Structure 1
Amino acid sequence: MFFLSREFSFDAAHRVIDYNGKCEKLHGHTYHLIVTITGDLKEDGMVLDFSILKKVVQEKVIVFLDHKYLNDVFENPTTEIVAQWIFKTLDNAFKEYNCKVYEIILFEGDNNRVSIR
């Protein structure tokens, strides 16, 4: 089984709902995203062209989240909720290419991350 990964980043602001701490106030992050897909090796010697991986993530995720106020997109935009949405969105999109999302790793800043498989 093969695993292909690509890294992305986007900037966004949010506030965490029903939270008592500094994250309840409006603030922003640079998010780093690692998308790993899995699939079978095809006759052309690739699972998926990396340019297609980039295009799908840009069109399905990055354009919706980059420089956005995440509370306008999600009821409570925790990193876990955002990562879950990314996983579901991309897993559906990559079916067209006979691939599946294996893992999403979403970093909120440099030191905090959530992974979902």
Structure 2
Amino acid sequence: MILVKEFEFDAAHNLVNYHGKCEKLHGHTYKLVIKLEGEPDHEGMVYDFVELKKLVNEKIINTFDHSYLNNIIPQPTAENIAIYTWNKLKEHIDRNNCRLYEVQVWETKTSGIVYRGE
């Protein structure tokens, strides 16, 4: 069973040593999708949505929202944002009945990255 929770945050960044328009300071309304895989526990839940929202807000959204991402991640590509998010959340989510399955980071409606901890 896959549990899915979506979040949004607004942030600015620029890509260092990149030659194109993204080397200039610009911003996105990012969509962050967190997926957990597991089986329902004794309460009938893979993971409590309220607890997941609290965790992601505390560890990710409050840090990223309305920030300059280069101050947090040296090269803040969608790929590196996904890896950062995975590393910040994994230890807090993995338990007997579920695990972090996937992190998606979308810069636009048509451009995103999917990371499964590879």
TM superposition shift of 1:47 = 1.2
Query: Scaled by the length of structure 2, what TM-score is found?
Result: 0.92
Q: Quick check: 1:12–1:66 contact (8 Å CA) kept in 2? A: yes
Q: Secondary structure at the match of 1:44?
A: coil
Amino acid at match of 2:12: A
Q: Quick check: 1:48–1:97 contact (8 Å CA) kept in 2? A: no
1:45-104 deviation line (CA, Å, top 9, x unaligned): 111111111111111110110000001001111110011110111111213685311011
Q: Quick check: 2:7–2:33 contact (8 Å CA) kept in 1? A: yes
Amino acid at match of 1:99: C
Identical positions, percent: 43
When the two structures are aligned, how many residues end up with a matched partner?
116
Where does structure 2 lack aligned partners over 5 or more consecutive residues? none
Query: Scaled by the length of structure 1, what TM-score is found?
Result: 0.93
Where does structure 1 lack aligned partners over 5 or more consecutive residues? none
| Moved segments of 4+, more than 6 Å | none
Amino acid at match of 2:24: K
Q: Quick check: 1:11–1:66 contact (8 Å CA) kept in 2? A: yes
Aligned partner of 1:24 in structure 2 is 23
Aligned partner of 2:42 in structure 1 is 43
Aligned partner of 2:89 in structure 1 is 90
